Amino acid sequence: MKQTQMWTYIFVIFLTLQSQCSACRWLGRYGTVSAESLKLLREMGGPYPESIKVHFPGALYNLIDKAEVEDQVKFLVSTLDHIISLTDASEHMNSVQWSPKTVEYFLKDLHRQSSELKECVAQYQKPSQKESYEIRIKRHFRTLKKILKKEKYSAQAWGQIWRAVRTHLQRMDIIAENAKKKFLQRV
C-alpha cells in the first residue's frame, strides 16, 4: 500500500471518529438545557396539587436505563418529540394561565434538545427499526392526549399533563447522564 493511501485512510477514519464524537458530546450539555426546560415548566405550572396522579411508564425507563447508548439517545429523541407534540397545542390551552411566551421558550428548548440529539443519532451505524420502547412510549403519550380530550382540555387535565411531562424530563436527565457516562467510557 502506498504511503499516501495509508495516510488518506487514517485521515478518513480520524474524521469519522471526530464527527461521531463531536455530535454525541452534546450529551454533556443536555443537562444544562434540560434544567432550563424544567425551570420553564415550573414557571408554567399552576397550583396543581401533588394528589393529581397520572400513569407513568417507570418500568420502561428502568429498561432504557440499562440499554445501549444508541438506544438511550433514540429514546430521548422519541420522548422529546412526543412531549413537543403534546404541549404544542396552544389553541387548547385557554383553561390554563400559562404565559404564551413561557410556553414558546419551553418548546424552543425541547426542539433544541431534540435536534441536537437527532444529530447524534444520525451518526450511529445501527439500522433504524421500530423498537419496543418506541411503541410503548407512543402508547403512553396517546393515553395522555386522550386524557386531555376526555376532560376537554380543562385546567385539571393540563395539570396531569404538566406533572407527567415534569416526571419525564426528570427521568430523561438521569438517562442522559448515564448515556453520557457510557459514551465517555467508549471514547
Q: In whole angstroms, give the CA distance from residue 149 to residue 153.
A: 6
The answer to pTM > 0.85 is no
Write out pLDDT tens, residues 3-55. Answer: 665 555 454 444 444 444 444 777 888 989 999 999 999 888 766 666 667 78
Write out pLDDT tens, residues 89-115. Answer: 767 888 888 888 999 999 999 999 999
The residue count for the chain: 187
Q: How far is CA 151 from the centre of its chain?
A: 26
Percent composition of the chain: helix, strand, coil (DSSP 3-state, to 5): 75, 0, 25
Q: Tell me the three state secondary structure of residue 151.
A: coil
Query: Is residue 77 a contact partner of residue 133, using CB atoms and an 8 Å limit?
Result: no
Q: How many CB atoms lie within 10 A of CB 169?
A: 20
How many C-alpha atoms does 82 have within 13 Å on its Cβ side? 25
